[in-house]
Chains A and B, each alone.
Chain A
Amino acid sequence: MLQVTHRLALLTALATAAAWGQSSLADASLEQLLNTQVTSVSKKEEKLARAAASVFVISQDDIRHSGATNIPDLLRMVPGVEVAQINSNAWAVTIRGFNQRYSNKVLVLVDGRSVYAPGFSGVYWDQIDTPLEDIERIEVIRGPGASVWGANAMNGVINIITKSSKATKGGLASATASTQGDASGMVRYGGDIGADGSYRAFAKTSTYASSQLPDGSPGHDGWSSLHSGFRSDWDLTPADTLTVQGDLFSNSESELRNRWFINEPSDPAFAQSLDAAGGNLLARWTHTFANGSDTSVQAYYDQFQRNDAEQPDRERTLDIDFHHHFAVGSRQDIVWGLGYRSETTYLPVGYEITATPPRRVDPLYSAFFQDEIQIGSNVWLTLGSKIEKNAYTGFEYEPNARIAWAPDARQTLWASASKAIRQPSRLETGVGLELGSAPIGPGLAESVQLIPNPNFLSEQVRDYEVGYRRQWNKRVSLDADVFLSFYRDLATFEPQAPVIVPGLVTVFEIPVMYGNKGRANDYGGELSLNYSVNSRWRISPGYSLVHINYWLEPSSGDTLTVSLAGNTPRNMVQMRSVINLTKRLEWDQTVYWSQAFANGTIPSHARVDSRLAWKASESVELSLTGQNLLRPEFLEFGDFEEVVGTEAPRSLIGKIVWRF
């Protein structure tokens, strides 16, 4: 009887609300109010709403609706993030410009573990294959995040955060197959361990078909991957939690490469296989004190090896981090932390590179401090800095100041000023690389040799931003920001005096040394809108602008980096639409438009994806996603150094997800 009354009350409440609009809630009875479903904003979202930084969050809902099958494709929805596929196993992903395969100005973390490889300064996206169903959200911070995350968080930070194992109990199996010949399968199972613990484990296998070159010849870039992992979460006491997680992966890949970075048309491209394998183990303990302060200790070990004939790379990272968060009085919120990292990079001799020394163990010591001070009732000032001591340039500090003004709960105006660096890597400081070689006459050859610069400096940026966030009502919200960034000491290739090396063939050698003579002033902005047209249809338009004014110091002789700095479109537009046709049927569209690259290498292009999903039952979902629907295939990036770019194909992907 009680049940029935409640249901009736709920119906009445809803009917009343529908008939009279919001204010009629005040006329509802206590019982009706107690039975009204509410949508609430979590503390985290509340804090995000007044964050004095340009933040975009990809939720699990966004992930599902996107129909994407890999993480780089997911990132396309974020204004300001540039994603270009080089071949089927390599991507160039950056934030606010300077795109290349090893985009070295963006830090990427998976559950607090850095996947930015210090050997070549960049991210191997083919090694990050977190099952998309396990991801809770991806937080993308555009602009420097260095005061908390440290070096290399120069243009932004991408935080991939997986669900707690408490939220993934039971089984899940998924399978995908595409018209291109790609296929994957994943099985996950989770449950309780005793009264206070939970776990999940997964295994995933994927194969990707080879794509094509623009002339229709095979791209030789097919690959396959095996990946397994687990996560376990424990409530040790009401005040202590422990998370332990890990992964193992093994990839077998191939790619088409040119002989040289500076390639002669007479040198044909060739197919080459490469294997990548690795694993990691992470543990994090958090403790909340009675006075509300909290502390966490995290440690991880990560290792991988890429058996790439040209540039083999083996890296091992051990990292320990400590954070403490507490309030001082009622107006100050302080977070500070200490960290130690040991990075072992072993770069065996490849057919093109020679590292001196081949193996290096570099310690990184870090400390950070951040104070959020509340001024009055609605202004928050955040001051903080990271201080690091790295093995290449010694002490570096990365301060920032941020201020947020929230005149009411629905809008925030913020501004920030920060400094960040990109730490030198093995590549600039210790790797010799033959960029090209060609005969120039009988018994005479020319060779361009890239030589390391042990005195290479950190790249630096000073960045200033202003942003505005507003929620007009339940249906319309906006997030906008503009930035101005001043870069100095950017990496350049400086030609040195030629050397004649006598021998069977006399070699006219042109050494090119890494330098720090690049400068840039950038400006731009990002805009995101969310509009719920009605309760079933939501559209999310986005727009980004980045104008890079790159130049060289007068003493520079560089001829390469000006073009590299132009691997970015000035304007990009995103449009996502999510329609719940019925309770069981979803229809989603994404349209991405990108202007031509500033250096003219890639013309302007649009990409259209569409997904139709049917919830066959509580446990089974079927979906069909069309990717790249506008064209049969498209070259998104072109060649990266020696790696020959292949075309992103049009494909139809069928997927089935079964929960048990």
Chain B
Amino acid sequence: MALLRCRPLALALALALAMPASIPAQAANEYEVKAAFLFNFTRFVDWPQSSASGLFCIGIAGADPFGSALEEAVKGRSAGGHAIAVKHFKPGEESAACEIVFISGADARKMRAALGRLQHAAVLTVGEGPGFCHSGGVIAFEIEDNKVRLEINPEAAQRARLQISSKLLSLATLVRDTGE
């Protein structure tokens, strides 16, 4: 009896040890998915004029939570016929020369300051957390049940003269400024 009991276990162990080392994890890293969204937005948003520098720029303001995920996501890809460049900005130095600026959600005060500076520029501001769109940001990522959800503030998009496709709008929760 003891022997019989042991067998499935021994078998299971043998299987566990023989398993290939590279079974992909079932869940993706949050920021790899967010990086993929940033690239995807280039296909669903129209900017008022095409880039002057001939490059499509995705900027990251302040702390960079992506690691190398964003560079990997845009490597060898283009947006509207332009090669994509990833730039990093120190807080307070966000540039309106970028088409997309990602503002990390770590510090609410910094986030609002950056949004204030980019308010009237033709920039797709992307951030995280519930306060971002309410504070005038265009698109915010939210995590719900371990999945990424989108929030869009259409008024903010209008101010930035951005055309967001109805498809993207239909997949997001629409929110308004709270006037803060």
Contact of B75 (CB < 8 Å), options: A23, A31, A38, A474: A23
Which residues of A sit under 8 angstroms from B113, Cβ to Cβ?
330
Contact of B13 (CB < 8 Å), options: A46, A292, A376, A581: A581
- Whether the Cβ atoms of A38 and B29 lie closer than 8 Å is yes
Q: A555 at interface (Cβ–Cβ under 8 A)?
A: no
- Whether the Cβ atoms of B36 and A26 lie closer than 8 Å is yes
Contact of B107 (CB < 8 Å), options: A26, A33, A327: A327
- Whether the Cβ atoms of B13 and A17 lie closer than 8 Å is no
Q: Complex: how many Å from CA A408 to CA B64?
A: 7
Q: Complex: how many Å from CA A536 to CA B13?
A: 11
Q: B35 at interface (Cβ–Cβ under 8 A)?
A: yes
- Whether the Cβ atoms of B65 and A409 lie closer than 8 Å is yes
Give the interface SS of chain B, mostly helix, strand, loop or mixed.
mixed
Which residues of B sit under 8 angstroms from A26, Cβ to Cβ?
35-36, 39-40, 73-74, 77
Q: Complex: how many Å from CA A474 to CA B23?
A: 12
Within 8 A of A (CB), among B149-174: 149-150, 167-168, 171
Q: Complex: how many Å from CA A612 to CA B106?
A: 41
- Whether the Cβ atoms of A36 and B64 lie closer than 8 Å is no
Whole-angstrom distance between the Cβ of A584 and the nearest chain B Cβ: 11
- Whether the Cβ atoms of B62 and A31 lie closer than 8 Å is no
Contact of B148 (CB < 8 Å), options: A34, A41, A587: A34
Contact of B147 (CB < 8 Å), options: A14, A25, A35, A532: A35
- Whether the Cβ atoms of B146 and A37 lie closer than 8 Å is yes
Contact flags A539-563 to B (C-beta < 8 A → 1, else 0): 0000000000000000000000000
Which residues of A sit under 8 angstroms from B74, Cβ to Cβ?
26
Q: Complex: how many Å from CA A537 to CA B69?
A: 25
- Choose the segment among B14-22, B48-56, B119-127 that binds chain A (4+ C-beta atoms closer than 8 Å): B14-22
Q: B108 at interface (Cβ–Cβ under 8 A)?
A: yes
- Whether the Cβ atoms of B146 and A39 lie closer than 8 Å is yes
Select from chain B the residue with minimum beta-carbon distance to A47.
Answer: B106
Q: B47 at interface (Cβ–Cβ under 8 A)?
A: no
Which residues of A sit under 8 angstroms from B20, Cβ to Cβ?
534
Contact flags B79-110 to A (C-beta < 8 A → 1, else 0): 00000000010111000000000000011111
Q: A617 at interface (Cβ–Cβ under 8 A)?
A: no
Q: A410 at interface (Cβ–Cβ under 8 A)?
A: yes
Band of interface residues on A: 35 or more
Q: Complex: how many Å from CA A612 to CA B63?
A: 43
Q: B178 at interface (Cβ–Cβ under 8 A)?
A: no
Whole-angstrom distance between the Cβ of A519 and the nearest chain B Cβ: 44
Q: A535 at interface (Cβ–Cβ under 8 A)?
A: yes
A581 with B12, Cβ < 8 A, contacts A23-B75, A33-B37, A377-B62 known: yes
Which residues of A sit under 8 angstroms from B28, Cβ to Cβ?
17, 22, 25, 36-39
How many residues of chain B are within 8 Å of chain A by beta carbon?
A: 58
Q: A262 at interface (Cβ–Cβ under 8 A)?
A: no
Q: A579 at interface (Cβ–Cβ under 8 A)?
A: yes
Whole-angstrom distance between the Cβ of A462 and the nearest chain B Cβ: 33
- Whether the Cβ atoms of A330 and B67 lie closer than 8 Å is no
Whole-angstrom distance between the Cβ of A546 and the nearest chain B Cβ: 34
Q: B175 at interface (Cβ–Cβ under 8 A)?
A: no
Select from chain B the residue with minimum beta-carbon distance to A377.
Answer: B90
A40 with B91, Cβ < 8 A, contacts A25-B28, A408-B67 known: no
Contact of A330 (CB < 8 Å), options: B13, B110, B146: B110
Which residues of B sit under 8 angstroms from A29, Cβ to Cβ?
40
Select from chain B the residue with minimum beta-carbon distance to A475.
Answer: B25
Q: Complex: how many Å from CA A22 to CA B31?
A: 11
Q: Complex: how many Å from CA A36 to CA B34?
A: 11
Q: A28 at interface (Cβ–Cβ under 8 A)?
A: yes
Which residues of B sit under 8 angstroms from A37, Cβ to Cβ?
26-28, 146-147
Q: A8 at interface (Cβ–Cβ under 8 A)?
A: no
- Whether the Cβ atoms of A537 and B65 lie closer than 8 Å is no
Whole-angstrom distance between the Cβ of A478 and the nearest chain B Cβ: 16
Select from chain B the residue with minimum beta-carbon distance to A23.
Answer: B72
Whole-angstrom distance between the Cβ of B145 and the nearest chain A Cβ: 9
Which residues of A sit under 8 angstroms from B148, Cβ to Cβ?
33-34, 36, 38
Q: Complex: how many Å from CA A377 to CA B12?
A: 49
Q: A236 at interface (Cβ–Cβ under 8 A)?
A: no
Q: Complex: how many Å from CA A294 to CA B37?
A: 33
Q: Complex: how many Å from CA A309 to CA B170?
A: 75
A34 with B149, Cβ < 8 A, contacts A22-B72, A40-B30 known: yes
Which residues of A sit under 8 angstroms from B63, Cβ to Cβ?
377-378, 409
Contact of A534 (CB < 8 Å), options: B19, B32, B44, B146: B19
Q: Complex: how many Å from CA A537 to CA B74?
A: 32
Which residues of B sit under 8 angstroms from A36, Cβ to Cβ?
27-28, 33, 147-148
A327 with B109, Cβ < 8 A, contacts A26-B39, A410-B67, A537-B19 known: yes
Contact of A474 (CB < 8 Å), options: B16, B25, B66, B73: B25
- Whether the Cβ atoms of A25 and B36 lie closer than 8 Å is yes
- Whether the Cβ atoms of B12 and A582 lie closer than 8 Å is yes
Q: Complex: how many Å from CA A38 to CA B144?
A: 10
- Whether the Cβ atoms of A292 and B109 lie closer than 8 Å is yes
Whole-angstrom distance between the Cβ of B84 and the nearest chain A Cβ: 10
Q: Complex: how many Å from CA A621 to CA B129?
A: 37
Which residues of B sit under 8 angstroms from A327, Cβ to Cβ?
107, 109
Within 8 A of B (CB), among A278-305: 291-292
- Whether the Cβ atoms of B40 and A38 lie closer than 8 Å is no
Q: Complex: how many Å from CA A579 to CA B147?
A: 26
Which residues of B sit under 8 angstroms from A46, Cβ to Cβ?
106
Give the one of B33, B90, B167 with max A CB within 10 A.
B33
Which residues of A sit under 8 angstroms from B69, Cβ to Cβ?
22
Q: A30 at interface (Cβ–Cβ under 8 A)?
A: yes
Q: Complex: how many Å from CA A639 to CA B110?
A: 58
Q: Complex: how many Å from CA A545 to CA B106?
A: 36
Which residues of A sit under 8 angstroms from B35, Cβ to Cβ?
25-26
- Whether the Cβ atoms of A30 and B64 lie closer than 8 Å is no
Q: Complex: how many Å from CA A41 to CA B25?
A: 16
Within 8 A of B (CB), among A320-340: 327, 330
- Whether the Cβ atoms of B64 and A409 lie closer than 8 Å is yes
Contact flags A640-658 to B (C-beta < 8 A → 1, else 0): 0000000000000000000
- Whether the Cβ atoms of B66 and A409 lie closer than 8 Å is yes
Give the one of A18, A36, A292 with max B CB within 10 A.
A36
- Whether the Cβ atoms of B23 and A534 lie closer than 8 Å is yes
Q: Complex: how many Å from CA A36 to CA B144?
A: 11
Which residues of B sit under 8 angstroms from A22, Cβ to Cβ?
28-29, 32, 69, 72
Known: A28-B36, A330-B107, A330-B110. 20 other contacts (CB 8 A): A17-B24, A23-B72, A23-B73, A23-B75, A26-B36, A26-B73, A30-B40, A30-B168, A31-B171, A33-B148, A36-B27, A37-B147, A39-B27, A39-B30, A291-B109, A376-B90, A409-B31, A410-B67, A474-B25, A581-B15
- A–B pairs, 8, beta carbons within 8 Å: A26-B40, A37-B28, A38-B28, A39-B28, A474-B25, A536-B19, A536-B23, A612-B9
Residues of B within 8 A of A (CB): 9, 12-13, 15-16, 19-33, 35-37, 39-40, 44, 62-69, 72-75, 77, 88, 90-92, 106-110, 113, 143, 146-150, 167-168, 171
The 6 closest A-B CB pairs, nearest first, are: A40-B30, A25-B36, A37-B27, A38-B30, A26-B73, A581-B12
Residues of A within 8 A of B (CB): 14, 17-18, 21-23, 25-26, 28-31, 33-41, 43, 46, 291-292, 327, 330, 376-378, 408-410, 474, 532-537, 579, 581-582, 585, 587, 612
